Structure 1
Amino acid sequence: MKLEKVKEILNAEVLCGYDRLSEEVNTACGADLMSDVLASKDEKSLLLTGLTNVQVVRTAEVLGDIVCIVFVRGKKPGPEILKMADSASIVIMKTDYPLFIACGLLYKNGLNCGSEF
């Protein structure tokens, strides 16, 4: 699924990485525990989370396969997070949907949860 479609489905606002909305994601992971995210082995993944600290971007950088981070519940990350994400070529979006609903909408529209299930 293209990130443009993710933006549309979640009625999301793009905070950085506008030029990368044509990129594809294969799976999505919804988590607030970064240890759960680190256990993921999926390529070209989307991370949905309510955490707005630098550890989220650092986790994405360590994995190297997270293309986009979507912050849920209308949370907006600070400028330091946006700068880190832009440097790492990670798209950042925010949506007003809670985590459960955002994940459900993406699943309903064909985005899978990955290889673990």
Structure 2
Amino acid sequence: MKISEICELLSAELICGDKQLNGQIEKGYSSDLMSDVLTLDTDHLLLITGMCNLQTIRTAEMADIRYIVFVRNKKASAEMLELAREHNICIMESPFTMFRASGTLFMAGLNPVY
């Protein structure tokens, strides 16, 4: 699934990483627990989270996650966007709840990690 498709499905705005608009995502994972995210070993992964802080960007970088959707109308700070750009992480912001975003992407064909 492409980033452009995800943005359309989730009514999401691409905030950072427009060069990755055609990037392919194979699996999705939803969590607000960054300790759970660190246990993942999956390439081409989309992280769906409402945990909107610098730690989320640092966790994504450590876990080699290049795509994040912040749900529940969470907005990334300028500091978060700077760090995301530094590590080539694509950031999207969606008004959907985590449940709705996950279900919408699953029904559209995005595979879960487990």
Q: TM-score range by the shorter chain?
A: over 0.9
* Counterpart position of 1:34: 34
Matches within 5 A, 1:47-86: 47-64=47-64, 66-86=65-85
* Counterpart position of 1:45: 45
RMSD between superposed Cα atoms in Å: 0.7
CA distance in structure 1 between the aligned counterparts of 2:43 and 2:14, rounded to whole angstroms: 22
Unaligned residue ranges in structure 1 (runs of 5+): none
TM-score normalised by structure 2 residue count: 0.97
* Counterpart position of 1:3: 3
TM-score normalised by structure 1 residue count: 0.94
* Counterpart position of 1:93: 92
Give the deviation of 1:30 after TM superposition.
0.5
Give the deviation of 1:76 after TM superposition.
0.3
Deviations 1:24-64 (A, max 9, x none): 01101100000111111111100011111111011111011
Unaligned residue ranges in structure 2 (runs of 5+): none
Give the deviation of 1:104 after TM superposition.
0.4
Runs of 4+ displaced beyond 2 Å: none
CA distance in structure 2 between the aligned counterparts of 1:111 and 1:40, rounded to whole angstroms: 17
